[in-house]
Amino acid sequence: MSARPVIKCNCGQRILARDVMQTGYYLRLVGPSFVYIKFRCSRCKKLGEQFVKQEEWEEGILRDVPCEIEPEEKRRFDEMGPIDIHECIDAHFELEKITRVSDLLGEVEEKKS
């Protein structure tokens, strides 16, 4: 069984139903038929189009994957803002200090208390 196709813009952004401007069928007498998708990327705002084989097409391709985190946890992450380069550097140096996984687990348990 083949993997479900994902429609992406040239910039790498995944295309969802809200980005789609037009869909249609490109039927052929010989060979596979296609579903035509015309979209405007939500990231780069460029127009794009893609053809998907009709036998691989399903509406779920354009739906976003449901979020696995709780709404309260998502709100907390949103309040934290994006991770900046200084936080990445600090995390790198903190990880270099740890020699065993058990040390890391001990520190995590301490912070929880």
Q: Which residues, at least 6 apart from 34, have a Cβ–Cβ distance to it below 8 Å?
A: 25, 26, 28, 51, 52, 53, 54
Cα–Cα dist 62/60, whole Å: 5
* Residues 75, 39 within the same domain: no
The per-residue pLDDT for range 20-36, each reduced to its tens digit, is 999 999 888 888 899 99
Closest CA to 24 of 56, 52, 64, 4: 52
Q: Are 33 and 26 in contact (CB under 8 A)?
A: yes
21 in a domain, yes or no? yes
Q: Which domain holds residue 57?
A: 17-62
44 in a domain, yes or no? yes
The per-residue pLDDT for range 12-68, each reduced to its tens digit, is 999 998 999 999 998 888 888 999 999 999 999 999 999 999 888 887 788 876 667
Q: Are 51 and 45 in contact (CB under 8 A)?
A: no
Domain count, the chain: 2
* Residues 57, 81 within the same domain: no
Neighbours of 40 (CB within 10 A): 15
106 in a domain, yes or no? yes
7 in a domain, yes or no? no
* Residues 50, 31 within the same domain: yes
Q: Are 35 and 50 in contact (CB under 8 A)?
A: no
Which of 40-44, 69-73, 100-104: highest mean pLDDT? 40-44
32 in a domain, yes or no? yes
Whether the pLDDT of residue 88 is over 90: the answer is yes
1 in a domain, yes or no? no
